[in-house]
Amino acid sequence: MAEVVFDKASRIYTPGAKPAVDGLDLTVADGDLVVLVGPSGSGKSTALRMLAGLEPIDAGSVRIDGRDVVDVPSKDRDIAMVFQNYALYPSKTVAENMAFPLKMRGMDKEERAQRVRQAADMLGLTEYLDRKPKALSGGQRQRVAMGRAIVREPQVFLMDEPLSNLDAKMRVQTRAQIAEMQNRLAVSTVYVTHDQVEAMTMGDKVAVLADGKLQQYATPPELYDRPINAFVAGFIGSPAMNLLDLPRSSSGVTLGGVEIPLPRDISDAAGSRDKLTVGIRPEDWVLESNDADASSVIKAVVDVVEELGSESYLYAHLAEDTGTTIVVRGPGRVGVRFGDPIAVRPNPEALHVFDAETGQRLP
């Protein structure tokens, strides 16, 4: 049970160069699962490794349960980590792997065996305790790595892309297992992934990182509904939000020759800017009839149709401005094909508007 605090923590690989993690401020509340998400090179893994003690903290501090751990070696931080490749000891059996951290802390054999049995029970590994990692499937190995973390009963779990070596089906299954287990044990967890679906489904809170800097730290719905800048807007959501640089018109912006009015508060915040980045999620387009009045709908031509059964995504380019492409969510049986014309209208309630230069949300 512990609160984890990153306090302006930085990691600078080469002096003078851009920091890999730049003044990270982040508080993980006790018992929460916080996901660090971002593209590769965003510093999310480095931040986790700083917390683990595998990377030095060059500036600022990191506190676990109120204790500054900058100079504390990994083994004394009371953490357990699950690596992407599981890092199971190949020469040891499953039971020995799980018992190893306990053995290193000098726990007696009886208690060790009991804790391993308990964890194995919980993870369905009991019958594999005598096997070597080589004789296990990917999913089983992943569970052994989890088990080794659990038996330590640490203050914090650290997970570095623990699902990325699993196939798609196992990943969904294990994702739910980890979330369920974390809820049950109520141990603070920091979870790193590049997969925004994992981030949205698992995190109590999600921290989006890019270029070593924290972009936004919020709950998943908040991230989705109110992304703080254009980067977060484009990163969270799949397919990604349509982000279009549009010129201002008298009461809004113009897209494909059609004027899109902006809500009052946004247009006030936009002030005298003559260009805005407007974000429209695929589900925030309304498909209209092709005969609709040309001044109120945007005409586009379909390039690709993705039918997912319950819904479909139409990738299209604008008829007026062929360089601009949009993604539109349609019903499951949308009935259009490559080359078909469509007419769409954005839902004015659901527009996200950003400064075209800085990418900051307006207002």
Binding site for another protein (CB under 8 A): 52-54, 73-76, 79-81, 83-85, 87, 89-92, 100-101, 104-105
How buried is residue 255: exposed, middle or buried, by Cβ count under 10 Å (0-12/13-18/19+)? buried
Shortest Å distance, C-beta 72 to another protein: 12
53 token code pair: 């003690």
Residue 88 C-beta-side C-alpha neighbours within 13 Å: 29
Nearer to another protein, 77 or 205 (CB): 77
Shortest Å distance, C-beta 43 to another protein: 18
Shortest Å distance, C-beta 188 to another protein: 16
50 token code pair: 């700083």
As a whole number of Å, the end-to-end CA separation of the chain is 38
Give the residue from 337, 362, 343, 340 showing the smallest Cα distance to 351.
Answer: 362
At position 324, the amino acid (one-letter code) is T
Nearer to another protein, 135 or 294 (CB): 135
Nearer to another protein, 80 or 302 (CB): 80
How buried is residue 172: exposed, middle or buried, by Cβ count under 10 Å (0-12/13-18/19+)? middle
Shortest Å distance, C-beta 194 to another protein: 17
Shortest Å distance, C-beta 165 to another protein: 12
Q: Residue 205, SS3?
A: strand
Nearer to another protein, 79 or 233 (CB): 79
Shortest Å distance, C-beta 87 to another protein: 4
Nearer to another protein, 82 or 318 (CB): 82
Query: What is the distance between the alpha carbons of residues 154 and 81, in angstroms, rounded to a whole number?
Result: 10
Nearer to another protein, 46 or 196 (CB): 46
Shortest Å distance, C-beta 81 to another protein: 5
Residue 299 C-beta-side C-alpha neighbours within 13 Å: 14
Query: What is the distance between the alpha carbons of residues 123 and 121, in angstroms, rounded to a whole number?
Result: 5
Nearer to another protein, 100 or 315 (CB): 100
77 backbone φψ class: left, alpha, beta (φ>0; ψ -120 to 50): alpha
